[in-house]
Amino acid sequence: MKRFVLLLWLGCTGVVGAQHFNIQALKAHIKILSNDSLQGRGTGTEGERMAAAYLADEFKKLKLRPLGNNSTYFQEFTFKGGAHGEGQPGTARNIVAFLDNKAPLTVIIGAHYDHLGLGTQGGSLDANPADKIHNGADDNASGTAGVLELARYFASNRKKEKHNFLFILFSGEELGLLGSKYFAEHPTCNLQQVNYMINMDMIGRLNPGTKTVVVNGTGTSPVWEPLLKSLATENLKIKTDSSGTGPSDHTSFYLKNIPVLHFFTGSHADYHKPSDDWDKINYEGTVAVLNLIRQVIEHTDNQPRLTFLKTKSNAMAVRTTPFKVTLGVMPSYSSDEPGLKIDGVTDGRPAQKAGLQAGDLIVQLGDYEIKDISSYMEALGKFEKGQKVEVKVKRGAELLTFVVEF
């Protein structure tokens, strides 16, 4: 009996001391957002509107101030179709909420909640995507749930931070960062008072082996690198990339001279495929990433306003560059090996047809040596449709040669 009481007591202190984020709430949000009934949350679709209603309701429960248009949580914008040249024009909405701590400066915490819908708006890596529901549990129900949990944490924290918080959930990201671009051009808060912006895009697949989260944008302020270095642990390693631009919404804020960070647990075989489902999420890993973000915010809370720095632009930003040919691979952004590591191959595209697999490291494409993503992009620009090209890849200890037909 005594032993039981003691265990109970220990259990309670453990929960109170360490548990800033609620794993069950996180799971519930991700399950709802990636449910088939939301039809993949395509920009401007009925499923996107259902998701938006749910998210606005969560902000309302936290008693956050609506900071969209006309005293609602919604900021509407129109779009002309996707960056991929597919899809119909329509109206989409960002969801914006404010936690007023009566502070001079504001931190923006954001994530996109739209995804690829039924695969008809472009962007799918499935061979025949049309009419398959792309649930987007990692991309980006995970980051969306992260915003909700951070909002809950900071709204219920009795020790008020010395910053206000603007929580924003973007639509139109998958069509080309449309929602964040619109907000940056039509802000509902004073951007001059924004200290920095945190973006979470795909934080649900922390690899239990490498335990590494990628943090992009660390060159946008001198505080980021030393701070993140001090927060890395054995259980959560951090790989940084300095560039302020990249294929997600923080880019829109960086381009307004605001320091940014983008948290990302890496790509995987289900990336942009109908199989990106809630049961593949690493929930403990997501909580670990949220704890890292919480610590970043708490460490900067007492510091003076962050200095903004411009960064060298990164090849990752070149997502809409028109190439005459593509291989159909998902490059890894978290590999250090010289070459182009691939996280996934698209079914029915040249790389997959030639025999390339996830995990391969491309080191040569035709006459061109591949050292990194930039040299890969440069080489790719040299080929024409129908051309046959030798590709050398490292697979484990082996060096293999394949013939790819573009």
Q: Tell me which residues touch Zn ion (CB under 5 A).
A: 139
CB of 298 to Zn ion, least distance (A): 29
Residue facing Zn ion at closest CB distance: 139
Which sign, positive or negative, has the C-alpha torsion 241, 244, 246, 248? Answer: positive
Which residue's CB is nearer to Zn ion, number 139 or number 149? 139
CB of 30 to Zn ion, least distance (A): 15
On whether the CB atoms of residues 113 and 41 are closer than 8 A, the answer is: yes
CB of 333 to Zn ion, least distance (A): 13
Which residue's CB is nearer to Zn ion, number 121 or number 300? 121
Task: State how far the Cα of 329 lies from the Cα of 345, in Å rounded to an integer.
Answer: 4
Identity of the residue numbered 126: D
Which residue's CB is nearer to Zn ion, number 139 or number 270? 139
Beta-carbon contacts of residue 120 (< 8 Å; ≥ 6 apart): 42, 86, 87, 129, 130, 131
- What is the full DSSP assignment across 233-249? -SSSEEEEE--S--SST
Phi-psi category of residue 324: left, alpha or beta, with phi > 0 → left and psi -120 to 50 → alpha: alpha
CB of 276 to Zn ion, least distance (A): 9
On whether the CB atoms of residues 238 and 217 are closer than 8 A, the answer is: no
Task: State how far the Cα of 151 lies from the Cα of 166, in Å rounded to an integer.
Answer: 9
Task: State how far the Cα of 13 lies from the Cα of 277, in Å rounded to an integer.
Answer: 34
Which residue's CB is nearer to Zn ion, number 111 or number 223? 111
Tokens matching residue 146: 């992260």
CB of 214 to Zn ion, least distance (A): 15
Which residue's CB is nearer to Zn ion, number 114 or number 241? 114
CB of 395 to Zn ion, least distance (A): 27
Which residue's CB is nearer to Zn ion, number 41 or number 152? 41
